[in-house]
Amino acid sequence: MSKQMRISIAGSGNMATRLCYAFQDAGVDIVQLLSSSDSGKRLSGFFEIERVENPAELKPVDVVLLCIKDDALISEYLSQFPESLLLCHTSGSVSLDVFGKRKHSGVFYPLQTLSKNREVEFNNIPVCLEAEDKNDLELLQILASKISNDVRIINSKLRKDIHLAAVFVSNFVNHLYNVSEDLLTEKNIDFDILRPLIMETAAKVQTISPTDAQTGPALRRDHKIIDKHLELLSNHPEYQHIYNIFSKSIAENN
């Protein structure tokens, strides 16, 4: 596992940025950054990586990571990349098929919510890998294990299921945080009062199943409190709707 690896990265968003940090920390050589945007200029400047704007300018490396979310963009770009390069996309929801008949291709999907400005420990992030070619897959395993201790081989179908579940526990969960902040701000209460509860709710399911972790009025079928809450939400029909369907669902599933 001590092979010195050389990669290039395409993109300049959250994924590209956090991968630059992770791979540079891990001593992987990031040879080029493919990006023509202003944020690409900043990113290549910050990490002192050579920046190119045209896929044809990419040098031979072990892997090129396409940090681009949109499958239409990925397929549009494809033909411009030298055929010899092992191209990997980093998206949870895009199939390996996007690469068509391309010889060397794969998927390198770190299952985490990434933001440009937020540091994140890559060590325990599950990295989901996929490739047709056995040698390509091996290369991806070596690369992924440089930044994470949780490397998994997952096919496109399962990866999509995982990505869907991830949307529920991350984007939708964050939306509930947002709703609460909205409700509290309206009453001039600082969101910080909920922060320990938010951490503990997440920490609880690190060791036990969510089914065993559940508490609260819906679980107890405490209709007196549920009705009071719905009344408090009378100015927010949208939140009232969420409250209703969640309370019913919790009572039914437990």
Residue from 38, 54, 187, 234 binding its own copies (CB under 8 A) = 187
- Taking the complex as a whole, how short is the minimal distance between the CB of residue 78 and its own copies, in angstroms? 17
Interatomic CA distance for residues 114 and 134, integer angstroms: 29
Q: Does 96 bind its own copies (CB under 8 A)?
A: no
Give the whole-angstrom CA distance, residue 89 versus residue 11: 11
Nearer to its own copies, 45 or 245 (CB): 245
| Cβ atoms 107, 88 nearer than 8 A | yes
Number of C-beta neighbours around residue 219 at 10 A: 13
Q: Does residue 209 bind its own copies (CB under 8 A)?
A: yes
Stretch that binds its own copies, among 46-54, 97-105, 136-144, 154-162 (CB under 8 A): 154-162
The angle that helices 237-253 and 173-186 make with each other, rounded to 10 degrees, is 130
Residue type, 143: L
Q: How far apart are CA 139 and CA 130, in angstroms?
A: 11
Minimum CB distance to its own copies, residue 13 (Å): 10
- The strand ranges marked E within the chain are 6-10, 29-34, 50-52, 63-66, 87-89, 105-110, 126-131, 150-153
| Interface of this chain with its own copies, residues 158 to 177, rule: CB under 8 A | 158, 160-162, 164-177
101 binds its own copies (CB under 8 A): no
Angle at 73 between CA 70 and CA 77, to 5 degrees: 145
Cβ-based nearer residue to its own copies, 53 or 186: 186
Q: Kindly state whether residue 116 participates in binding its own copies, applying the rule CB under 8 A.
A: no
Least distance in Å: CB of 217 to its own copies? 7
Q: Which of 26, 78, 96, 120 binds its own copies (CB under 8 A)?
A: 120
Q: Which of residues 41-80 bind its own copies (CB under 8 A)?
A: 69-72
Q: Is 115 in the site for its own copies (CB under 8 A)?
A: yes
- Our CB check for its own copies shows the closer of 45 and 177 to be 177
